[in-house]
């Protein structure tokens, strides 16, 4: 099986031994604690579950700047986005500043339980210029309307850094018991199925016919044994489909329209960055940590609005030395149903087509149809998937009408 990124073995930071975990949890109750941002908690989930192998914790300001500017750590490892724990200055009292170890508390669960313990290596202010460098390099914009920029900026202007030991995976195992999986669990699933080549599909949205066929095209093109449909389960921008609805619709599609034992459906506990090209590289790294040999990178991968060009997330891989990653990229074009050839195609393969030759709906039009209880064209969406989405949008419409 493909090796993890930068390490011969996976390095999850979750305390596996039950007795050791209980002892650390008891110690955490006596430590100074701080409620972190959702982004910092999500970073800990990814560290704890092995997806961010070989990282050991939160970066200090110098390391974060180095990663933002060069996409490499001080040790020379390819890494595309800073892993940081930024908090507000008013959260850092004397007990935090004087502590060698602190408890990190979860902002996403009532009562703010401890999710990790951090050995404090540095507590540093982040200047406006430093934050600008971090934001501009990571997101290619400083526009506060960009959802990733907004979340990054809102977290605070003090960086807490140091190695962490993770106690739990926040709300993800409870809310998504059938879907949340660690990198190690996915590697074991791949191993148990006897798969060698595995293509990963990243999604934060429901999957329509075009996505389904794209997975099949990529599987066939790279001669993969199977597909990992890997969905983000964390926080999204307003208006995105909730994870539970996406999960149900994707599972129904796989159940009905993929051969048995050809797909793993799983999810990971991370908040969407909407960082376009940089996030695409991060997606490749943690899919390699899952054991996948290929990642589908399509048009506007991990993008939002008009901040990135349609193929910027593919072009960034041309700037990376080939030996920096073992995982390979399957470069996809936009896919849609062709009325000329009566199947889903990649548009680049049919230069004779015009826009009128495709069945393609905007996201706004899809939402309007579903909220009104009108079916989507079967060439666009599988009816069983559309029905799940329709129930969601009609519930939203009824709620808005109250």
Residues labelled catalytic: 204-205
Query: What is the token pair recorded at 22?
Result: 């209980």
Question: Do the Cβ atoms of 262 and 268 come closer than 8 Å?
Answer: no
Query: What is the token pair recorded at 312?
Result: 């910027």
Q: What are phi and psi of 145, to 5 degrees?
A: -80, -15
User: Which residues are CB-neighbours of 207 under 8 A, at least 6 positions away?
Assistant: 229, 249, 250, 253, 385
* Cα(349)–Cα(345) distance, integer angstroms: 7
Helix ranges (DSSP H) in 222-328: 243-257, 277-290, 312-315
16 to 4, 11, 165: CA distances (angstroms): 19, 12, 10
Cβ burial 294-313 (10 Å sphere, 16+ → b, else e)? bbbbbbbbbbbeebbeebbb
């Amino acid at each position: 099986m493909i090796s993890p990124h930068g390490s011969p073995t996976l390095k999850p930071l979750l305390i596996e031994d039950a007795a050791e975990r209980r002892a650390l949890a008891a110690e955490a109750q006596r430590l100074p604690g701080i409620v972190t941002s959702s982004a910092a908690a999500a970073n800990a989930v990814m560290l704890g579950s092995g997806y961010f192998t070989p990282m050991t914790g939160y970066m200090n300001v110098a390391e974060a700047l180095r990663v933002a500017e060069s996409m490499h750590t001080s040790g020379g490892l390819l890494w595309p986005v800073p892993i940081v724990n930024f908090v507000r200055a008013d959260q850092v009292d004397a007990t935090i500043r004087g502590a060698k170890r602190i408890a990190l508390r979860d902002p996403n669960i009532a009562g703010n339980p401890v999710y990790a313990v951090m050995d404090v290596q540095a507590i540093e202010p982040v200047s406006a210029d430093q934050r600008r460098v971090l934001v501009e390099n990571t997101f290619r914009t400083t526009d506060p309307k960009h959802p990733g920029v907004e979340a990054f900026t809102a977290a605070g202007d003090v960086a807490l850094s140091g190695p962490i030991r993770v106690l739990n995976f926040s709300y993800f195992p409870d809310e998504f018991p059938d879907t949340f999986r660690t990198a190690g669990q996915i590697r074991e699933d791949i191993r148990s199925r006897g798969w060698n080549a595995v293509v990963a599909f990243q999604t934060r949205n429901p999957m329509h016919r075009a996505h389904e066929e794209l997975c099949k095209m990529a599987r066939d093109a790279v001669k993969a044994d199977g597909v990992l449909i890997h969905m983000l389960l964390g926080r999204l921008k307003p208006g995105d489909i909730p994870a539970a609805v996406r999960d149900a619709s994707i599972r129904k599609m796989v159940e009905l329209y993929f051969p048995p034992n050809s797909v793993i459906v799983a999810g990971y506990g991370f908040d969407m960055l909407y960082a376009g090209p940089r996030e695409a590289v991060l997606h490749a790294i943690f899919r390699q940590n899952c054991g996948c040999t290929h990642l589908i990178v399509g048009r506007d991968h991990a993008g939002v609005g008009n901040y990135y060009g349609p193929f910027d997330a593919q072009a960034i891989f041309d700037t990376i030395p080939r030996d920096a990653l073992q995982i390979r990229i399957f470069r996809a074009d936009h896919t849609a149903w062709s009325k000329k050839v009566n199947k889903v195609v990649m548009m680049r393969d049919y230069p004779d087509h015009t826009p009128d030759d495709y069945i393609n709906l905007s996201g706004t039009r899809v939402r309007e149809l579903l909220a009104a209880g009108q079916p989507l064209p079967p060439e666009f969406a599988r009816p069983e998937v559309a029905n799940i989405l329709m129930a969601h949008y009609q519930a939203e419409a009824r709620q808005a009408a109250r």
